[in-house]
Amino acid sequence: MRAVVTGGAGFLGSHLVDRLVKEGWEVVIIDNLITGSTENIAQHAGDNRVKFIKQDVTEFLFIEGPVDFIFHFASPASPVDFVRFPIPVLKVGALGTHKALGLAKAKGSKFMLASTSEVYGDPLVSPQSETYWGNVNPIGPRGVYDEAKRYAEAMTMAYHNFHGLDTRIVRFFNTYGPRMRLDDGRVVPNFIKQAILGEPLTVYGDGSHTRSFGYYDDILEAVWRLANTQFFEPVNIGTTEERTVLQFAKLVIQITGSKSEIQHLDAAIDDPKQRKPDLTRANRLLDWHPTTSTEEGLRKSIDYFRQKLNTSAS
């Protein structure tokens, strides 16, 4: 089997590459490194089963030879990135998805879109099921990502319905783990970095908004199982272990043994008040349940960030 992974040098994409190689696949990685890093795929250097192409996926994609599966995981995914790279975020969701789907059509390959819980916006229902249409502000600061992913889902379904393309859509909920960037800006790397350095943990608003954090290893097991189905409608992947952001900050301080305090900042614009997936579809379809507790996943992530911070300081 031979796969193309767009965004394969990013956090989740690089872990997917590892999994595919472990399963005996050949992999072509396409990444422009706007938020990815070759450090994430350095373990495959010299392996002739893995090829890296530095390219923006919004440009024409040309891959020699057969391709069995395309995993479209390319996109900046942090609120910090939405401010820094608003146009690239929109382009990778629209033009990048179009180019990736076009390649899948030309090669006769299967296709998976990495979508997000952000398609639900600031939800008015909880937990969020795949049938919920969302509550999105299209012109707010998060709108570039929310609408890019909603458009990408619509484009994927259009290729499935009109061209008969074999597609899948996975909606990720707050995935975390090793290889997240130190400057990522999302809750997990922010809190861990601040706690290790003894800095205040910055909580936006009163911290009562909730998140359901899924460890990457569990999440990719679900991705692998979904890839081996023929189910084409969206599937939520995450964990129902819901915590407030304030509770999560206190947990990070506890596990790191940090002396950091918590600092409250102004609430972020359009920051969702609740994030909790309805996993009924994933449980039934994939016979899948996350097995890594938040505490265990955090300990592994903290070990990684300590190493990264020590390396950057030396």
Q: Per the residue annotation, which of 145, 176, 215, 216 is the catalytic one?
A: 145
273, pLDDT greater than 70 = yes
Residue-level pLDDT at 23: 97
Using 50, 70 and 90 to split pLDDT, how confident is the model at 185?
confident
- pTM, to two decimals: 0.96
Region 71-86: mean pLDDT is: 95
What are the φ and ψ backbone dihedral angles of 220, each rounded to 5 degrees?
-70, -25
Residue-level pLDDT at 98: 98
45, pLDDT greater than 80 = yes
Domain topology for 2-180+216-239+276-293: Rossmann fold (3.40.50)
145 a catalytic residue: yes
Using 50, 70 and 90 to split pLDDT, how confident is the model at 310?
confident
314, pLDDT greater than 60 = no
109-118, 163-172, 179-188, 298-307: the lowest-pLDDT one = 179-188
Those residues whose C-beta lies under 8 Å from the C-beta of residue 139, and which sit 6 or more positions away, are none
What is the rounded average pLDDT for all residues in the chain? 96
Following DSSP, what letter does each residue of 239-255 receive, concatenated?
---EEEHHHHHHHHHHH
